[in-house]
């Protein structure tokens, strides 16, 4: 009778741990697999500064995460954003936030990941506050190579459908 109870308990424990074992094996495989996305990137985002459009240059570090697939740190416009990256329908979804009290904010960046292996650039849009503290959405480029302001603007125009309006901003209600 003891052997039957002990066998049942062991079988129940194995049955409970089996899905988690598969997740642990998948996690270890993903952590050890080489990934070109994990590196340092230059970011170029279009924002307004004193109501004038301007390209802000930043630096993005992407690493493998512990509780998420990737973690990211973005240094831009005097702020440090930390967050996570998810892959969703061939898009990278970066959710980042600042931790300083003077300007607490969360930004959302969605980048096209479908043609990543053919180029060293990722194109997409960010949604957050611009330098004038207005809710805005505009183009962003992540590039492994450093670009000039002119090259970044040309790149933004070349991949945008409506390149006359690369920057959208909510108007203040009157």
User: Tell me, what's the pLDDT at 37?
Assistant: 85
What is the number of H-type helices and E-type strands within the chain?
2, 9
Report the SS3 class of residue 37.
coil
pLDDT value at 172 more than 70: no
User: Tell me, what's the pLDDT at 118?
Assistant: 63
* pLDDT digit string, tens, across residues 122-145: 999 999 887 777 788 888 999 999
- Total tally of structural domains belonging to the chain: 2
Residue 157, domain member (yes or no): yes
pLDDT value at 174 more than 50: no
| Same domain assignment for residues 16 and 59 | no
* pLDDT digit string, tens, across residues 66-101: 878 889 999 987 788 899 999 888 899 999 998 777
| Same domain assignment for residues 25 and 49 | no
| Same domain assignment for residues 88 and 152 | yes
Instruction: End-to-end CA distance of the chain: give it in Å, rounded.
Output: 80
Comparing C-alpha atoms, which of 137, 144, 130 is closest to residue 160?
A: 137
| Same domain assignment for residues 28 and 98 | no
Residue 9, domain member (yes or no): yes
pLDDT value at 161 more than 60: yes
| Same domain assignment for residues 134 and 59 | yes
* pLDDT digit string, tens, across residues 27-52: 777 767 767 888 899 999 888 777 77
Alpha helices by DSSP H, the chain: 2-32, 149-159
pLDDT value at 146 more than 90: yes
Q: How confident is the model at residue 60 (pLDDT cuts 50, 70, 90)?
A: very high
Question: What percentage of the chain carries pLDDT values higher than 90?
Answer: 25
Instruction: Give the number of other Cβ atoms within 10 Å of residue 93's Cβ.
Output: 17
Domain span at 8: 1-33
Comparing C-alpha atoms, which of 92, 103, 142 is closest to residue 83?
A: 92
User: Tell me, what's the pLDDT at 65?
Assistant: 83
| Same domain assignment for residues 108 and 83 | yes
User: Tell me, what's the pLDDT at 167?
Assistant: 67
| Same domain assignment for residues 58 and 87 | yes
pLDDT value at 8 more than 70: yes
| Same domain assignment for residues 73 and 110 | yes
């Amino acid at each position: 009778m003891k052997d039957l109870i002990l066998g049942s308990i062991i079988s129940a424990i194995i049955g409970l741990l089996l899905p988690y074992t598969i997740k642990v094996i998948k996690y270890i495989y993903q952590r050890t697999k080489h990934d070109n996305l994990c590196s340092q990137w230059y970011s170029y985002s279009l924002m307004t500064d004193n109501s004038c459009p301007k390209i802000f240059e930043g630096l993005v570090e992407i690493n493998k995460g512990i509780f998420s697939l990737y973690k990211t740190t973005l240094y831009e416009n005097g702020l440090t954003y930390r967050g996570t990256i998810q892959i969703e329908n061939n898009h990278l979804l970066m959710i980042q936030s600042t931790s300083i009290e003077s300007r607490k904010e969360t930004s959302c960046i969605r980048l096209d990941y479908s043609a990543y292996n053919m180029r060293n650039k990722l194109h997409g849009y960010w949604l957050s506050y611009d330098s004038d503290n207005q809710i805005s959405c505009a183009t962003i480029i992540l590039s492994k190579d450093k670009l000039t302001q002119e090259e970044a603007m040309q790149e933004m125009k070349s991949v945008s459908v409506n390149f006359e309006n690369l920057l959208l901003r909510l108007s203040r209600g009157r």
